[in-house]
Amino acid sequence: MNGAESLVRTLVDGGVELCFANPGTSEMHFVAALDSVSGMRCVLCLFEGVATGAADGYYRMARKPAASLLHVGSGLGNGLANLHNARKARSGIVNIVGNHAVYHQQHDTPLSADVEAVARPMSDWVRSATSSRTVAADAADAIAVACQPPGRIASLILPANTAWEAADGPAAPRSVQPRSTVSRELVRNVASILQANEGVTLLLGDAGLYARAKELAGRIAAKTGCSLLSEYQSAREERGVGRVAIARIPYSVDSAVAMLRETRHLILIGAKPPVAFFAYPEKPSVLTQPDCQLTTLANADEDIEQALYALAEELGALDTPPLQVATGPRPLPAKGPFTLEGIAQSLAAFIPDDAVVVDESVSSGRGFAPITQNAAPHDWLSPMGGSIGFGLPQAVGAAVAVPDRKVILLQADGSAMYTLSAMWTMAREQLNIVIVVFSNRGYKILLGELANVGGGKPGGNAMRMMTIDDPALDWQALARGFGMTSSRACNLDEFNRELALGIDHKGPHLIELVL
């Protein structure tokens, strides 16, 4: 058995059964080991950012880590943006990066780079294997880091000779600590804040947006009269009919400040203190009022559902019917010319039971949340690191994790350009994905941002940096290029028809919305 085989066996034994790979020369023994070790499914991606983004999406839906397999420092560079997104989403990934053989690293070769230094900014844990005899133990350590809730990015650098030289065998899985629970004292303290004050808001994030946690929050709100909010975006929100509907803090600083203006006590439950996505001249960074008191009930690495249960119990709210449950009816499809509200309404009408919505709609989709609360129950996955190029890979990973569920990807056109080749992986693996492309032929978000930062009215040169209409991207041709079927909708009636067909379609399908 060589090091690569011991590594792959360790991964499989540790529950890592999926590998999103874009391998190169230094990973060839890993690839060869896939034929000698059973239990590892390897999905080829044609760009590293697809592999890391898919691993993020896989973790969110499978709730266990996949491996990504990348090639040397520059390949890792290509994977960083979606590792960043995954890390901010607290997804666990065993990120394996091949490197030159240990004894070859002293030479100045074309691909020489400080792989550890490239990995560090977007990783929670970085280690370079030093020997084929210990690479299995390194892998077991990496798995334990990635699995530790909430997930972490464990980057294991694999010099080629540690893969091809002899190994003793796989390493046994390490034990993983469960999420720690919050103290009774803290729960009592938060309960007393809720009981003694007006203007209390629970701000939910992370696992606080799973259905059961939201239900507990709804009971607490019903019992105490507090408000419920969620962070602007969430890694995975379980929502739709039958679930507590919670408003999101909006992206716009002014709107966010207005929404939080009456909050005197903000209780953070898997959420971070709310701050502006970007700074803007004359606008605050911190979204809460200066006299607002922030209290953390539970961090993302603690057991959020337990904390909410304990709080509800303390408040005697366990049997209180929850507030704000979405009861339907499911909206009817909208008709006529395209409006963003109409698109949201049609989505809400057609989202099938148990669908997964991956949202990289960027500027187009900011108002979709309220309108889709009464859709069929679904999971909604958002980019957590703000780095575009998230949607297509995320959809790949989600669809691989839950193949029987329909994935609906809301994809802005500009953002799709960063990881476009994910469409090929969708076609090859015949993933169950409908891509809805918001083809507005521009970086519409930047027009708003230019105004926000006080950049004035854009002139000809600036406008040319924010429009992608010359030439217009031909989305149906791009889909065909990657081996995927597609259609086109120029109004809501066409969208309704194509969305219904796309959802019925087996395998991936792209619908271009010509906005």
Minimum distance, C-beta of residue 428 to a second copy, in the bound complex (Å): 6
Tell me how crowded residue 43 is: count the other CB atoms within 10 A of its CB: 22
Residue 85 is a binding residue for a second copy (CB under 8 A):
yes
Cα separations (Å) of 397 from 93, 207, 253, 391, 498?
Answer: 12, 19, 32, 10, 24
Q: Cα 77–396–177 angle (5° rounding)?
A: 75
Give the residue, chosen from 277, 320, 491, 505, that forms a contact with a second copy under the rule CB under 8 A: 277
DSSP category for residue 468: -
* Residues between 119 and 138 that touch a second copy (CB under 8 A): 120-122
Give the residue, chosen from 315, 402, 478, 510, that forms a contact with a second copy under the rule CB under 8 A: 478
* Residues between 38 and 57 that touch a second copy (CB under 8 A): 42, 44, 46-47, 49
Q: Cα 261–263–266 angle (5° rounding)?
A: 130
Point out which span in 219-227, 335-343, 347-355, 379-387 binds a second copy (CB under 8 A).
379-387
Residue placing its CB nearer to a second copy in the complex, 153 or 492:
153
Give the residue, chosen from 319, 336, 459, 506, that forms a contact with a second copy under the rule CB under 8 A: 459
From 79, 59, 66, select the one nearest 18 (Cα to Cα): 66
Residue 74 is a binding residue for a second copy (CB under 8 A):
yes
- Assess contact for 454 and 305: CB atoms under 8 A: no
Cα separations (Å) of 188 from 182, 185, 297, 378?
Answer: 11, 5, 10, 33
Give the residue, chosen from 332, 339, 481, 490, that forms a contact with a second copy under the rule CB under 8 A: 481
Residue 392 is a binding residue for a second copy (CB under 8 A):
no
Tell me how crowded residue 303 is: count the other CB atoms within 10 A of its CB: 17
Give the residue, chosen from 11, 190, 446, 511, that forms a contact with a second copy under the rule CB under 8 A: 446
Point out which span in 72-80, 147-155, 396-404, 432-440 binds a second copy (CB under 8 A).
72-80
Residue 514 is a binding residue for a second copy (CB under 8 A):
no
Give the residue, chosen from 137, 412, 437, 450, that forms a contact with a second copy under the rule CB under 8 A: 450
Give the residue, chosen from 118, 147, 182, 191, that forms a contact with a second copy under the rule CB under 8 A: 118
Contact pattern for a second copy over residues 483 through 502, marking x by CB under 8 A:
x-------------------
How many residues line the site for a second copy (CB under 8 A)? 103
Give the residue, chosen from 23, 205, 208, 322, that forms a contact with a second copy under the rule CB under 8 A: 23
DSSP category for residue 102: G
Residue 445 is a binding residue for a second copy (CB under 8 A):
yes
Residue 367 is a binding residue for a second copy (CB under 8 A):
no
Residue 506 is a binding residue for a second copy (CB under 8 A):
no
Across 100-162, the runs of DSSP E, i.e. the strands, are: 125-128, 153-159
* Residues between 294 and 353 that touch a second copy (CB under 8 A): none
* Residues between 141 and 170 that touch a second copy (CB under 8 A): 160-161, 164
- Assess contact for 311 and 206: CB atoms under 8 A: no
Helix count and strand count (H, E) for the chain: 20, 18
Residue 16 is a binding residue for a second copy (CB under 8 A):
no
The C-alpha R_g of the chain, in whole angstroms, comes to 24
Point out which span in 200-208, 291-299, 309-317, 480-488 binds a second copy (CB under 8 A).
480-488
Cis, peptide link before residue 150, omega less than 30° from 0 = yes
Distance CA 43, CA 393 (A): 12
Residue placing its CB nearer to a second copy in the complex, 32 or 222:
32
Residue 505 is a binding residue for a second copy (CB under 8 A):
no
Residue placing its CB nearer to a second copy in the complex, 80 or 408:
80
- Assess contact for 267 and 190: CB atoms under 8 A: yes
Residues in the chain: 515
- Assess contact for 394 and 62: CB atoms under 8 A: no
Minimum distance, C-beta of residue 260 to a second copy, in the bound complex (Å): 15
Distance CA 333, CA 117 (A): 51
Residue 466 is a binding residue for a second copy (CB under 8 A):
yes
From 93, 160, 112, select the one nearest 132 (Cα to Cα): 160
**Torsion from C-alpha of 384, 388, 391, 394, nearest 10 degrees:** -60
Residue 471 is a binding residue for a second copy (CB under 8 A):
yes
Residue placing its CB nearer to a second copy in the complex, 140 or 300:
300
* Residues between 189 and 248 that touch a second copy (CB under 8 A): 233
Point out which span in 96-104, 190-198, 219-227, 328-336 binds a second copy (CB under 8 A).
96-104
Q: Which helix (H) or strand (E) holds 445?
A: helix 444-452
